[in-house]
Amino acid sequence: MRTYDFSPLYRSAIGFDRLAQFFDDAQRTDSSYPPYNIELVDEDKYRITMAVAGFDRSEIEIVTEGGALKIIGRKTREEMPRNFLHRGIASRDFEHSFQLAEHVHIVGAKLDNGLLNIELAREIPEALKPRKRLLDRTDLIVWK
């Protein structure tokens, strides 16, 4: 995999340090494990489905922090070593982050048949929603 050095961007751009950090982080993370889907369920509803076969509920942590959703899987170590003839199911620890847009929050999460489903919704506060202008009989603008 090819990597790029973004350090010159830190020195010559002001206010773009977060963008450069984002590119650096994207290069370092292994975003292929565990595999996941992001689905648009409805206009303002989303679902992240992550394949976490072999993980128990107690081994998965879901955290929202600073506009980011972080899913962490830490496998508890078994007391007795197992002798695999073939090992195709990965059981390594993982940490995966998703950047959430404004006003998007977790509605619920469930683990079913090795799939972790996280339901998300965007709920814009009433004060930030667009308002319609209507003209009444006196041709005054009334906001609703």
Predicted confidence (pLDDT) per residue in 63-110, tens digit: 998 888 999 999 888 777 888 889 888 778 999 988 888 888 899 999
Return the domain boundaries, the chain. Answer: 1-30, 31-143
As a whole number, mean pLDDT of residues 55-65 equals 92
Average model confidence (pLDDT) across the chain: 79
**How far is Cα 90 from Cα 110, in angstroms, rounded to an integer?**
21
Q: For residue 101, give the DSSP letter.
A: P
Which residues partner with 70 through β-bridges?
Answer: 63, 97
In the CATH scheme, what architecture does the domain 31-143 have? Sandwich (2.60)
Q: What is the pLDDT of residue 144?
A: 55
> Which comes out higher in pLDDT, residue 144 or 84?
84
Which residues partner with 71 through β-bridges?
Answer: 62, 96
> Which comes out higher in pLDDT, residue 27 or 101?
101
As a whole number, mean pLDDT of residues 41-59 equals 91
Residues in the chain: 144
Percent pLDDT > 90 in the chain is 32
Q: What is the pLDDT of residue 51?
A: 94
As a whole number, mean pLDDT of residues 44-54 equals 92
How much is the pTM?
0.65
